[in-house]
Amino acid sequence: MILAVVLAACAHAPPAPTVQEALSALPLDAVGEWRPARSHGRVTVVTFIATWCFPCLVDLPVLTKLQKDHPSDLVVVLIGMDLEGRKVLEPFAEMNELRLPLIVADDQVRAGETPFGPIKQLPTRFIFRRDGTLSFAYAGVAEPKALIEAVERELK
């Protein structure tokens, strides 16, 4: 089961950012190759994670397989929220053989100043359509099957 996160529940709330706006507003420091323009015209999954977060670890093989199965239609971007930054994220990426871009969150992002608003729970995932608009977002534990189905719905 997926728990939806409402981003613009109030008529006075700003509209959700497009994937290009969101990704270009994030820090440029990344473990591995990172090019925000790569998401243009593709379904994009942005996931906030931490190395100590068990549900985040459960998502990694699922997200990796989705990226591997849909290399030209999907972009998966991870944002590491660990306080120690690159010091723990580099060995984490190496140990888990991550082939997904892993952006190192800076103090501003960890303090809640993200294009998505404050990130209050990990993992938090944002799924964008091919046109760059936000399809939906959710936080917390998700069954791997539900995550796969959510992404594959957008890929159709």
> Is pLDDT above 80 for 106?
yes
Question: Is-contact 124 114, C-beta < 8 A?
Answer: no
Counting every residue written for the chain, the total comes to 156
**C-alpha span between 102 and 3 (Å, rounded):** 24
Taking residues 105-128, what's their average pLDDT? 91
> Is pLDDT above 50 for 137?
yes
Class of domain 19-155: alpha beta
pLDDT of residue 11: 41
> Is pLDDT above 90 for 54?
yes
pLDDT of residue 6: 36
Taking residues 13-29, what's their average pLDDT? 78
Please state the domain extents for the chain.
19-155
